[in-house]
């Protein structure tokens, strides 16, 4: 865990000169614990803060409990519930004109909506947070992170890389290991996504794959040092995917064997589906036809209406390879057609996202 951040917070709580100051620091501790994945401790800490809250405490502090609880819900992987709770906190903050809290809610919602692929809502909340003169530095960072991630999702990787680079000074100023781990992770994801989509378009770029591998290893190394397990886990899954693009199937399979079993519990449902599909190809290429075919079928069964187009494309591509391995050429062709259709859908989504981003183009606010 990020022991330094927790210890710094604990010292500040012990030195607090008033009940409201102590309650605010306890709220911050609850957020920190939630970000570390310790959601039960976060809820307990928040309950402790509520018990210590003075009856005549500041309105903003009272309202902030709803914001903190929504953050805890999000890190409990209850994403829809977290979104609803955060919008309720947001409406309360706006109604009371508590602008610093409004900015915190805006920044959180920008990241929530970016995860859901809602481009317009992400832009609206991120821009509002960045334009808010009362926004805490952490809120401005998270809003910027959401915008960079939007460009990444839209296959506008150069803009994403630029925004990540522009956040470098802010990350250092925050002196927050968890924020740094998240920033490194998203920057690495941008490079991995670019390499994977180039390969899917028939234009494999070994340089982009090598750059993605270097970024992923940096993310994994840093996350491991600060025990940001989810960031490291996702990094490993994508590192294996890059090895598949290099046709280093044994290296990729070794990573999957070590890290895929626990990945589901970290909340990376779609990424796990893609990893299972890639693992099937590794097994097939290494001669384990029965196991590879079974893994491909298992990944296919995980697809549903909520599966992103990119994940559907990867699964159908790998299923086609599995079908070919058992001499089912007609079914293999069907899966390749479905894979192409999914990639076409993804490219359409990306074009639409880029159009919306261009319409809303605005300089990044530090």
Q: In this predicted model, what pLDDT tens digit does every residue of 238-250 receive, in sequence order?
A: 999 999 999 999 9
Position 65 scores a pLDDT of 98
The alpha carbon dihedral of 115, 119, 120, 125 has a sign of positive
What six digits make up the tokens of 60? 């903003």
Position 175 scores a pLDDT of 86
CA dist., res. 306 & res. 121, Å (int): 19
Position 162 scores a pLDDT of 85
What six digits make up the tokens of 123? 């832009």
Helix (H) or strand (E) holding 361: none
Backbone angles phi, psi at 202, to 5 degrees: 80, 15
Q: How many CA atoms lie within 13 A of 11 on its CB side?
A: 5
Through-space distance between the first and last CA atoms of the chain, rounded to whole angstroms: 28
HEC secondary structure over 280-314: HHHHHHCCCHHHHHHHHHHHHHCCCCCCCHHHHHH
CATH placement of domain 275-343: 1.25.40
For residues 106 and 143, the answer to whether their CB atoms sit within 8 Å is yes
CA dist., res. 345 & res. 309, Å (int): 6
For residues 154 and 357, the answer to whether their CB atoms sit within 8 Å is yes
Position 365 scores a pLDDT of 44
Q: Kindly list the domain boundaries of the chain, sorted by start residue.
A: 1-81, 198-267, 275-343
CA dist., res. 79 & res. 120, Å (int): 19
For residues 32 and 6, the answer to whether their CB atoms sit within 8 Å is yes
Q: How many CA atoms lie within 13 A of 91 on its CB side?
A: 6
Q: pTM for the complete prediction? A: 0.77
What six digits make up the tokens of 7? 């210890």
CA dist., res. 159 & res. 166, Å (int): 10
Position 366 scores a pLDDT of 43
CA dist., res. 328 & res. 45, Å (int): 57
For residues 150 and 180, the answer to whether their CB atoms sit within 8 Å is no
Residue ranges for the chain with pLDDT beneath 50: 1, 363-366
What six digits make up the tokens of 33? 């614990």
């Amino acid at each position: 865990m990020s022991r330094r951040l927790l210890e710094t917070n604990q010292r500040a709580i012990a030195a607090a000169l008033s009940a409201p100051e102590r309650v605010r620091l306890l709220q911050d501790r609850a957020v920190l614990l939630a970000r570390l994945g310790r959601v039960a401790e976060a809820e307990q800490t928040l309950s402790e803060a509520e018990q210590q809250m003075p009856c005549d405490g500041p309105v903003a502090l009272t309202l902030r409990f709803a914001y903190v609880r929504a953050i805890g819900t999000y890190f409990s992987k209850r994403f829809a519930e977290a979104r609803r709770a955060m919008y309720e906190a947001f409406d309360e903050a706006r109604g009371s004109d508590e602008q610093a809290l409004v900015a915190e809610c805006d920044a959180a919602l920008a990241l929530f909506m970016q995860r859901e692929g809602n481009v317009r809502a992400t832009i609206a909340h991120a821009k509002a947070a960045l334009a808010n003169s009362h926004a805490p530095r952490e809120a401005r960072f998270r809003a910027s992170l959401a915008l960079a991630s939007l460009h990444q999702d839209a296959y506008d990787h150069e803009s994403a890389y630029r925004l990540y680079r522009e956040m470098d000074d802010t990350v250092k100023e925050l002196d927050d290991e968890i924020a740094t781990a998240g920033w490194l992770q998203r920057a690495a994801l941008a490079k991995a996504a670019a390499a994977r989509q180039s390969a899917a378009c028939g234009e494999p770029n070994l340089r982009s794959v090598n750059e993605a591998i270097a970024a992923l290893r940096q993310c994994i190394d840093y996350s491991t040092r600060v025990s940001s397990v989810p960031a490291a886990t996702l990094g490993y899954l994508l590192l294996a995917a890059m090895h598949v693009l290099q046709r280093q199937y044994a290296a990729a399979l070794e990573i999957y064997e070590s890290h895929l079993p626990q990945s589901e519990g970290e909340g990376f449902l779609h990424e796990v589906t893609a990893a299972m599909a890639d693992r099937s190809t590794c097994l097939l290429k290494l001669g384990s036809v029965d196991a590879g075919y079974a893994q491909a079928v298992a990944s296919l069964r995980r697809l549903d209406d909520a599966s992103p187009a990119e994940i559907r494309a990867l699964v159908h591509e790998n299923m086609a390879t599995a079908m070919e391995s058992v001499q089912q050429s007609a079914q293999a062709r069907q899966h390749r057609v479905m894979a192409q259709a999914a990639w076409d859908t993804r490219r359409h989504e990306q074009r639409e996202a880029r159009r919306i981003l261009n319409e809303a183009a605005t300089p990044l606010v530090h």
